[in-house]
């Protein structure tokens, strides 16, 4: 949790593509659109590392679809033979034979398209799952500063709707862009071969259609990107409204929230209607121009049949071939629209995947995707104890530490500056300060939620920067002021603090946090599901479970960010009594606001405006430091 005065700016809930500080805003190409001018093909090629494992089945499916589509072009040739032969000669047997051929071709085409669908369904579902798993793993490895910047709805939409859109693209448009291209090429050759003059008439709209489709693609691509960003904003608002329903109802803000939601839905509706208009326009053009050419060819062909220059069978075959090409031509706009939506989804997906992350060691079952650059691996650290220089002090040491949030304005002062503090081995240091003084930020540096921008931190003489994040978080346990619980049982939430801990450790941790009694009173005891965010529990109960999670692993270093703020006086006294035993066996840094919590500490550090103003015992500072005396007397109550 970061301080509220000199921290990252609040997450943006409205996607303004022209805002350069918006993490979801693409680069403005300078055309006034505010959206990127990017290559659709280049964007979609980034999917190759995920598609490569299933390329054989996709290639086979595309080949099957091409064969099926070309079979539809054989039907006009059978019709030509049928009209000029058995029909003209009055041969009923030949007519039945021709009908049988047409039936077989139709059945074969249907079966081949069904086979294509079967070939792609399972592997592409696997591609979607692999991309979603990779995104989730990457989100876990990204620094906290990234999550400070990005609205959760934007991340959620990238892992759901965007990936569904990519699977749909790989299933249908990707294949049929190839299939329809081959069909138009083969069909054009057949048209020209049957009657070159009529073929040129029918093919005359191709050039203007290509130009119009190019214009359509650019406009639709920008609208598609805007739609997907707006959908992410809408997801953020819905998520926040659900999680904050108590606040909304408690303050009677349902109408204002409904208005905000309505504004977002109207903006999304406007963009969707723009997409619909563009699609209707290109679909209309793609239908009208070929139909006009077909009408002209029909008139010219009928005149030639009447003059005896063309057989009726040839005209029937010619028109049948033209009709078989209607769908490939008309669908160009639709396929380009889906391709642009997929390209926008790909860009949005890789905006997150391209964020640099540090990985200490591979996660079980985490095989890297070929072609995707792995995250940075930290250098192996030495042993936990005895690995530092002989003259380095033990315990927790801050040496000239400074910190500035990555998104802070350039002219803003740093949140922390020249922090020099030594928490001796086995000592408990209380951290006291006014609101916004940087207490929470300082405690967040120890488990490497953030890294200092200057100076260094050592744990038992070892530079924290040389300790991998996984090892640092095994050494350091944290309990935050605002506890976060997950949709799991009470026991599972506590056991997150110590992998492999047993029932005895669970009970000990619950006893320390004075949570054993209320957990036992739950309907299913420690197996009771606490619900999303633990909202089925009171604030004090959530805080005690979070404290139990911090102490269950018997950590070498313990960071407590005002963990007793939600407890009543009686429960606080019981927890403090139990905590004394835990604190005696660890090195602890405790953010404190109450004198009762401060008395748990051996010494106190006063943090003022991002600097250590004084260090001493509670009674020394109370006697000698007016600022500390004012804080302890309630003259200024600090919560961070």
What ranges do the domains of the chain cover?
Answer: 47-356, 396-632
- Residue 367 banded pLDDT, cuts 50, 70, 90: very low
Q: Are 73 and 321 in contact (CB under 8 A)?
A: yes
Q: How large is the average pLDDT for residues 93-120?
A: 85
> Please, which residues have CB within 8 angstroms of residue 610's CB and are 6 or more apart in sequence?
6, 413, 414, 415, 416, 417, 419, 437, 438
Residue 393: predicted pLDDT: 66
Residue 120: predicted pLDDT: 86
In the Cβ-directed half-sphere of 636, how many Cα atoms lie within 13 Å? Answer: 15
**What confidence tens digit (pLDDT) does each residue in 69-94 have?**
888 888 777 777 777 777 776 778 77
Average pLDDT, the chain: 79
d(CA 266, CA 283): 25
Token duo for residue 213: 């489709």
Residue 341: predicted pLDDT: 87
Q: What angle do CA 380, 386, 389 make, to 5 degrees?
A: 85
- Which of 318-327, 365-374, 622-631 is least confident? 365-374
Residue 1: predicted pLDDT: 36
Q: How large is the average pLDDT for residues 346-375?
A: 61
- Residue 331 banded pLDDT, cuts 50, 70, 90: confident
Q: Is the pLDDT of residue 383 over 60?
A: no
Q: Is the pLDDT of residue 361 over 70?
A: no
Q: How large is the average pLDDT for residues 432-444?
A: 87
Beta-sheet pairing, 428-433 with 416-423: unpaired
- Which of 19-23, 255-259, 374-378, 418-422 is least confident? 374-378
- Among 35-49, 163-177, 196-210, 371-385, top mean pLDDT goes to 163-177
Q: What are phi and psi of 28, to 5 degrees?
A: -75, 125
Q: Is the pLDDT of residue 624 over 50?
A: yes
DSSP lists the bridge partners of residue 478 as 559
- Residue 392 banded pLDDT, cuts 50, 70, 90: very low
Q: Are 357 and 142 in contact (CB under 8 A)?
A: yes
Q: Is the pLDDT of residue 539 over 90?
A: no
Above pLDDT 90, what percent of the chain?
Answer: 10
- Among 19-23, 302-306, 331-335, 414-418, top mean pLDDT goes to 414-418
Residue 135: predicted pLDDT: 92
Q: How large is the average pLDDT for residues 103-117?
A: 86
Q: How large is the average pLDDT for residues 185-211?
A: 80
Q: Is the pLDDT of residue 67 over 60?
A: yes
- Residue 7 banded pLDDT, cuts 50, 70, 90: very low
pTM tops 0.75, yes or no: no
- Residue 402 banded pLDDT, cuts 50, 70, 90: very high
Name the fold adopted by 47-356.
Answer: ABC transporter transmembrane region fold (1.20.1560)
Residue 50: predicted pLDDT: 92
- Which of 151-165, 344-358, 385-399 is least confident? 385-399
Residue 520: predicted pLDDT: 87
Q: How far is CA 147 from CA 32, 236, 406, 484, 506, in A?
A: 30, 13, 12, 15, 31
- Residue 422 banded pLDDT, cuts 50, 70, 90: very high
d(CA 238, CA 244): 10
Name the fold adopted by 396-632.
Answer: Rossmann fold (3.40.50)
């Amino acid at each position: 949790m970061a301080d509220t005065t000199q921290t990252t700016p609040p997450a943006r809930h409205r996607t303004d593509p022209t805002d350069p500080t918006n993490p979801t805003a693409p680069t403005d190409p300078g055309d006034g659109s505010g959206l990127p001018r990017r290559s659709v093909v280049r964007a979609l090629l980034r999917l190759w590392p995920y598609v490569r494992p299933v390329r054989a089945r996709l290639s086979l499916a595309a080949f099957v679809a091409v064969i099926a589509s070309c079979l539809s072009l054989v039907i006009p040739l059978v019709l030509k033979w049928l009209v000029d032969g058995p029909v003209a000669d009055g041969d009923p047997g030949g007519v039945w034979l021709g009908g049988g051929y047409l039936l077989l071709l139709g059945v074969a085409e249907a079966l081949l398209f069904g086979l294509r669908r079967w070939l792609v369904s399972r592997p592409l579902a696997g591609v979607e799952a692999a991309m979603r798993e990779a995104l989730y793993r990457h989100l876990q490895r990204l620094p906290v500063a990234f999550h400070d910047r990005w609205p959760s709805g934007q991340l959620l939409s990238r892992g759901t709707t965007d990936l569904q859109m990519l699977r749909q693209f790989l299933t249908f448009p990707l294949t049929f862009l190839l299939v329809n291209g081959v069909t138009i090429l083969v069909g054009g050759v057949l048209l020209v071969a049957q009657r070159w003059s009529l073929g040129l008439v029918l093919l005359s709209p191709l050039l203007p259609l290509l130009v119009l489709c190019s214009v359509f693609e650019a406009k639709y691509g920008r609208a598609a990107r805007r739609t997907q960003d707006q959908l992410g904003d809408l997801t953020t608002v819905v998520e926040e409204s659900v999680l904050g329903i108590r606040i909304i109802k408690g303050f009677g803000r349902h109408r204002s929230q409904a208005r905000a939601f309505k504004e977002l839905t109207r903006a999304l509706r406007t963009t969707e209607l723009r997409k619909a208009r563009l699609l209707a326009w290109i679909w209309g053009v793609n239908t009208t121009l070929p139909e006009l050419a077909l009408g002209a060819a029909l008139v010219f062909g009928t005149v030639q049949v009447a003059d005896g220059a063309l057989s009726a069978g040839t005209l029937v075959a010619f028109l049948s071939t033209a009709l078989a090409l209607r769908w490939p031509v008309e669908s160009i706009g639709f396929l380009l629209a889906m391709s642009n939506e997929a390209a926008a989804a790909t860009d949005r997906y890789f905006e997150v995947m391209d964020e640099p992350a540090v990985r200490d060691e591979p996660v079980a079952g985490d095989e890297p995707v070929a072609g995707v650059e792995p995250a940075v691996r930290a250098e192996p650290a030495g042993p936990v104890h005895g690995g530092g220089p002989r003259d380095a002090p033990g315990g927790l040491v801050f040496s000239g530490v400074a910190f500035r949030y990555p998104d802070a304005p350039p002219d803003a002062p740093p949140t922390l500056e020249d922090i020099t503090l030594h928490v001796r081995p086995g000592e408990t240091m209380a951290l006291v300060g006014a609101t916004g003084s940087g207490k929470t930020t300082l405690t967040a540096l120890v488990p490497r939620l953030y890294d200092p921008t200057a100076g260094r931190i050592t744990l038992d003489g070892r530079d924290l920067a040389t300790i991998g994040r996984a090892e640092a978080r095994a050494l350091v346990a944290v309990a935050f002021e605002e506890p976060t619980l997950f949709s799991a049982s009470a026991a599972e939430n506590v056991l997150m603090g110590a992998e492999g801990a047993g029932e005895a450790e669970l009970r000990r941790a619950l006893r320390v946090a004075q949570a054993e009694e209320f957990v036992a009173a739950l309907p299913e005891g420690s197996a009771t599901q606490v619900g999303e965010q633990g909202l089925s529990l009171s604030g004090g109960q959530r805080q005690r479970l979070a404290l139990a999670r911090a102490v269950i692993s018997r950590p070498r270093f313990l960071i407590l960010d005002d963990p007793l703020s939600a407890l009543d006086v009686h429960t606080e006294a019981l927890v403090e009594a139990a905590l004394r035993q835990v604190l005696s066996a660890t090195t602890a840094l405790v953010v404190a606001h109450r004198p009762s919590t401060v008395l748990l500490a051996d010494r106190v550090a006063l943090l003022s405006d991002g600097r250590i103003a004084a260090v001493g015992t509670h009674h020394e500072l109370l006697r000698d430091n007016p600022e500390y005396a004012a804080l302890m007397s309630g003259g200024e109550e600090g919560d961070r």
